[in-house]
């Protein structure tokens, strides 16, 4: 009879053997066969498959696009990555495959919550229907009437910093965290009709981002293990409850609000007269939350970092803002910013180029090419 220690050693040994066998199989399937034996063997690529494989996933874990750029510079606009994956870095080719003839990668299914949504759907008719229903709610014309966005987002954040400094609490802030809170407050204003005020409410902030962290783990696991796709996404359940309560209140009190949630509730397909269901509204708002939260905070943090480490650029942008908007107590609209803050806009675009916050989502080549 094996003792506990022997059993553990045996289990560990078996696990180690399985991992070795799996990695040998994976290396053959992802590198050896496609590089040297399969139909992709003549596509430009790095000669040393093992070193390339390790570099590729090292940079992917870092979230760095630099290795992709290096591959394009060294081998041209089309480079074989691994398995049947090809890196394309060409504006003309991008136009060709950015259409319905080249379906989205299966990795998009990670974002299926109760079913397909405007981001994850492969179906052309479904996507067109959702697009017609949703996009009008997010045009600049419609968003500019939501006056709370400026106050809840930018102004509330600035006021909070001023209050903490004047009260002697601190003059050192985790900007990434507060940018994330500010983005969340704006998104919840659009989706449930009121802000969670996480910029100032630390208890609410901790509670939400604890659930948010679990959500990211779940989505990561869903991408890694497709068979667990039915697992609940923590934030969706919380978000669903908040949106349901807001919708029920509006319907029971027969109150009309001038906000994005109301626009989605009232929207109708011009051909069929269909409305979005509550479940569909929740799906789309979750995608907005997921797509807008970390991307906004990362971009703002990197942009501010790049500006502050360049004093000449900082002074140029500071003077540009003060010259065009001398009274900083008044709300500033987007169209005026785009027209007058050209250096700030350039800094944001350059930050997005240098520190891309979203990795590329692939397309599938249909059978027959």
Domain boundaries along the sequence of the chain: 4-90, 131-354
Contact in structure between 141 and 147 (CB atoms under 8 Å): no
Distance separating alpha carbons of residues 185 and 293, to the nearest angstrom = 10
Superfamily grouping for domain 131-354: Cytochrome P450 (1.10.630.10)
Q: Which long-range contacts (CB under 8 A, 24 or more apart) does 134-140 make?
A: 134/264, 134/267, 134/276, 134/284, 136/263, 136/267, 137/260, 137/263, 137/264, 137/267, 138/260, 140/334, 140/335
Distance separating alpha carbons of residues 184 and 298, to the nearest angstrom = 13
User: What pLDDT does residue 146 have?
Assistant: 55
Contact in structure between 46 and 75 (CB atoms under 8 Å): yes
Share in percent of the chain as helix, strand, coil (round to 5): 65, 5, 30
Burial class of residue 351, CB neighbours in 10 A (0-12, 13-18, 19+): buried
Handedness of CA 170, 175, 177, 182 (dihedral sign): positive
User: What pLDDT does residue 1 have?
Assistant: 46
Burial 201-219 (b: 16+ CB within 10 A, else e): eeebbeebbebbeebeebb
User: What pLDDT does residue 336 have?
Assistant: 86
User: What pLDDT does residue 201 have?
Assistant: 92
User: What pLDDT does residue 304 have?
Assistant: 95
Contact in structure between 364 and 102 (CB atoms under 8 Å): yes
User: What pLDDT does residue 112 have?
Assistant: 80
Contacts of residue 32, defined as CB under 8 A and 6 or more positions apart, other chains included, come to: 49
Distance separating alpha carbons of residues 137 and 336, to the nearest angstrom = 21
User: What pLDDT does residue 2 have?
Assistant: 47
Distance separating alpha carbons of residues 28 and 49, to the nearest angstrom = 10
Q: Which residues of the chain have pLDDT under 70?
A: 1-8, 139-147, 223-234, 367-369
Helix (H) or strand (E) holding 280: helix 278-308
Instruction: Map residue 196 onto helix, strand or coil.
Output: coil
């Amino acid at each position: 009879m094996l003792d506990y220690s022997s059993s553990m050693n045996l289990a560990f040994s078996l696990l180690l053997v399985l991992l070795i066998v799996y990695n040998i199989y994976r290396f053959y399937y992802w590198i050896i066969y496609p590089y040297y034996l399969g139909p992709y063997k003549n596509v430009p690529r790095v000669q040393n498959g093992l070193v390339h494989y390790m570099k590729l996933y090292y940079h992917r874990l870092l979230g760095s696009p630099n290795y992709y750029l290096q591959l394009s510079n060294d081998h041209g606009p089309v480079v074989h990555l691994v398995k049947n994956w090809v890196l394309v870095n060409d504006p003309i080719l991008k136009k060709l495959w950015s259409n319905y003839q080249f379906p989205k990668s299966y990795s998009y299914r990670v974002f299926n919550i109760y079913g397909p949504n405007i981001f994850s759907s492969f179906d052309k008719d479904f996507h067109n229907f959702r697009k017609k229903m949703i996009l009008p709610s997010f045009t600049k014309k419609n968003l500019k009437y939501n006056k709370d966005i400026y106050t809840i987002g930018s102004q509330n954040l600035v006021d909070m910093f001023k209050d903490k400094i004047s009260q002697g609490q601190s003059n050192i802030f985790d900007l990434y965290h507060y940018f994330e809170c500010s983005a969340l407050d704006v998104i919840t204003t659009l989706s449930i009709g009121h802000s969670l005020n996480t910029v100032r409410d630390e208890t609410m902030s901790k509670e939400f981002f604890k659930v948010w962290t679990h959500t990211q783990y779940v989505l990561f696991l869903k991408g890694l293990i497709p068979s667990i796709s039915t697992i609940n996404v923590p934030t969706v359940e919380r978000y669903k409850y908040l949106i349901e309560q807001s919708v029920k209140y509006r319907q029971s009190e027969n109150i009309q609000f001038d906000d994005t949630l109301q626009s989605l509730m009232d929207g109708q397909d011009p051909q069929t007269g269909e409305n979005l269901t509550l479940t569909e509204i929740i799906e789309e708002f979750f995608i907005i939350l997921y797509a807008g939260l970390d991307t906004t905070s990362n971009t703002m943090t990197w942009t501010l970092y790049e500006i502050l480490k360049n004093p000449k650029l900082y002074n140029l942008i500071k003077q540009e803002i003060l010259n065009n908007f001398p009274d900083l107590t008044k709300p500033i609209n987007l169209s005026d910013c785009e027209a007058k803050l050209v250096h700030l806009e350039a800094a944001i675009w350059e930050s997005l180029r240098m520190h891309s916050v979203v990795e590329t989502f692939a397309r599938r080549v249909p059978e027959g090419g």
